[in-house]
Structure 1
Amino acid sequence: MLEVIALTIIFALILYLQLPSIIKRNNIREIGAYSSLMLIGIIYTYGYVLDIELPNPTHAVDFVFRPVTELLNKLLGG
């Protein structure tokens, strides 16, 4: 339980320090990208600490890029 409290404090501190400068620049895409990546990081960190089995992100990357890689191999004769 102490780990969860420490993580919550650390994530709150990171958000407190980072978000104002991003919001000040008023770049909606950057805010969206930062929020998405931060949320993914928070979810996986809590999952790791609480021993929750989460899907491996490399499987998603493999799913997306494998067809592209196979196509390029066919086109380039590999």
Structure 2
Amino acid sequence: MKSHWREYIHCDPKILIGKPVVKGTRLSVEFLLGLFAEGWTEDQVLENYPTLTLEGLRAVFAFASECISQEVWYAASMVNQTQ
């Protein structure tokens, strides 16, 4: 699915000021990941947002995974020491 997220996620400056969203919705990747961070389940998200498909939701995770894999991350203790 990693390579297929582009079929479901896009950015358009006219939609949520260009944040990545699931195509055909105004649901941003950030918003959907936030729901999971708050404890929502896949079923709850799909039930509450009927325009979202399972494939679109999985693309959110593939997109996030690819974004993270391309970033440099530092240990939290190192970040705190520099502030």
TM-score in same-fold range (> 0.5): no
Choose between structure 1 and 2: higher helix proportion. Answer: 1
- Say which structure is richer in strand: 2
TM-score normalized by the length of structure 2? 0.29
